[in-house]
Amino acid sequence: MTELTVTEPTRIDVGGDTPYQVLVGRDLLGELPPMLAGAEQAALLYAEPLKAHAEALAARLDGAGLRTVPIEVPDAEDGKSIGVAAGCWDALGANGFTRSDVVIGLGGGAVTDLAGFVAAAWLRGVRWVPVSTSLLGMVDAAVGGKTGVNTSAGKNLVGAFHPPAGVLCDLAMLDTLPHADLVAGLAEVVKCGFIADPAILDLIEAGPAAAQDPASPALRELVERAIRVKAHVVTHDLRESGLREFLNYGHTLAHAIEKVEHYRWRHGHAVSVGLIYAAALSVATGHLSPDVAARHRAVLTSLGLPVAYEADAWPALLAAMRVDKKARGSTLRFVVLDGLGSPAILAGPADDVLEAAYREVIA
Ligand SMILES: NC(=O)c1ccc[n+]([C@@H]2O[C@H](COP(=O)([O-])OP(=O)(O)OC[C@H]3O[C@@H](n4cnc5c(N)ncnc54)[C@H](O)[C@@H]3O)[C@@H](O)[C@H]2O)c1
Ligand SMILES: O=C(O)C(=O)C[C@@H](O)[C@H](O)[C@H](O)COP(=O)(O)O
Ligand SMILES: [Zn+2]
């Protein structure tokens, strides 16, 4: 008789005022109903590529005695708008959602950011659970309670800190994730390697192909390591009054690229270019040695991530960076590296220094 090995999920604790667990494993949907205890209804937000998964999840929730209200939203960044959120609130109202009911976001980071924001504002805050289906969502977006939508002025400019009741990272979901989206998620994993856990970089360098294989033990280890980095940070600084800013390494330029590209670039691709820029800025301001900056380029390139952007985009990028959330008045603030695992804040660099660093990024 063949013996079946049941692998228990890894449970990663996130602390703070409202502690919760991030579960990582395969075939985890059975873990969801206990997280929803006390709810009569669950709104299930998803986008079209996850429709089959949403139907399966709704059937499971119905079987557990919950009335499921499926809400299909536009895919990817098209769903991260105040108009889409308003449509979701209309659906909650039409179905009489009360404070004991829950919102579930089934999808990548875009859907879970939207779902969390819908939950944060409905009745001034109801429970929500992200069921993360993309690599980027698992290692980053679903963890930490940053929720929100984009506005015409920029990325994630409206939102709320609203921690979830729990997070499901079902690695089996990655089997259907397009390869380009999987690789995009690795940019945030690499970010965690540089700001906090260099073992991540060693693992990727030892096997860039395994890092891109959803079924590999290497990818599971990368996922868990990146989640632990984020869990530690948000446990100690949910509202980004200090430590949490370091998770924004590479993001000042990344968000500007996304805006200039009208959100048609993947977030992870923009972060990859942003990491090259942040490393170059760290070198240009005397924080970092050039060999660590070169390691950024080597690791990201080995994964097939983009490391360059257009020369003539600089004025538009600089303008977009001025509404970065880390700015204080007219002073731009960047996350830089003093060394591996040693992030710091650079405040008010001169425009010519910013432009000189950008030359390292030009295609
Ligand atoms: N809240 C946070 O802390 C935080 C952190 C990082 C990123 N983000 C946000 O997350 C978003 C990026 O997330 P993303 O990279 O997951 O992009 P995404 O949510 O746009 O998903 C990318 C694409 O993959 C599809 N997809 C997702 N899972 C799938 C699956 N299992 N099978 C098939 N298709 C699947 C989606 O439908 C979409 O078309 C950005 O909006 C970014 O700003 C938020
Ligand atoms: O969780 C955080 O804090 C981060 O900065 C993680 C980032 O990877 C993520 O893209 C986040 O959404 C960016 O936040 P923002 O406040 O700069 O919009
Ligand atoms: Zn990010």
Q: Would you write out the chain's pLDDT as a tens digit for each of its 363 residues?
A: 344 445 789 999 999 999 999 999 999 999 999 999 999 999 999 999 999 999 999 999 999 999 999 999 999 999 999 999 999 999 999 999 999 999 999 999 999 999 999 999 999 999 999 999 999 999 999 999 999 999 998 899 999 999 999 999 999 999 999 999 999 999 999 999 999 999 999 999 999 999 999 999 999 999 999 999 999 999 999 999 999 999 999 999 999 999 999 999 999 999 999 999 999 999 999 999 999 999 999 999 999 999 999 999 999 999 999 999 999 999 999 999 999 999 999 999 999 999 999 999 997
Give me the number of domains the chain comprises: 2
Answer whether residue 4 is part of any domain.
no
**Residues 169 and 185 reside in one and the same domain:** no
**Residues 167 and 210 reside in one and the same domain:** no
Chosen domain end from 176, 201, 227: 176
**Residues 336 and 236 reside in one and the same domain:** yes
Q: Is 146's C-beta closer than 6 angstroms to any atom of ligand 2? A: yes
**Structure token pair of residue 145:** 């309670």
Residue 214 pLDDT: 96
Domain hosting 76: range is 10-176
**Residues 95 and 157 reside in one and the same domain:** yes
Give the number of the atom of ligand 1 that is nearest the alpha carbon of residue 155: 43
Whether 267 is catalytic is yes
* Catalytic residue (one of 31, 53, 127, 146): 146
**Residues 141 and 102 reside in one and the same domain:** yes
Chain centroid to CA 296? 20
Answer whether residue 363 is part of any domain.
no
Q: Does the predicted model carry a pTM greater than 0.95?
A: yes
Answer whether residue 62 is part of any domain.
yes
**Residues 200 and 320 reside in one and the same domain:** yes
**Residues 153 and 206 reside in one and the same domain:** no
Whether 244 is catalytic is yes
C-alpha–C-alpha distance, residues 67 and 72, integer Å: 16
**Residues 90 and 24 reside in one and the same domain:** yes
* Catalytic residue (one of 251, 259, 269, 333): 251
C-alpha–C-alpha distance, residues 43 and 58, integer Å: 10
Mutate to test the pocket of ligand 1, among 117, 128, 168, 181 (most ligand atoms within 8 A of CB): 181
**Residues 122 and 193 reside in one and the same domain:** no
CA dist list (Å): 7 to 4, 21, 27, 137: 10, 17, 10, 22
Ligand 1 centre from 132 Cα, in Å?
8
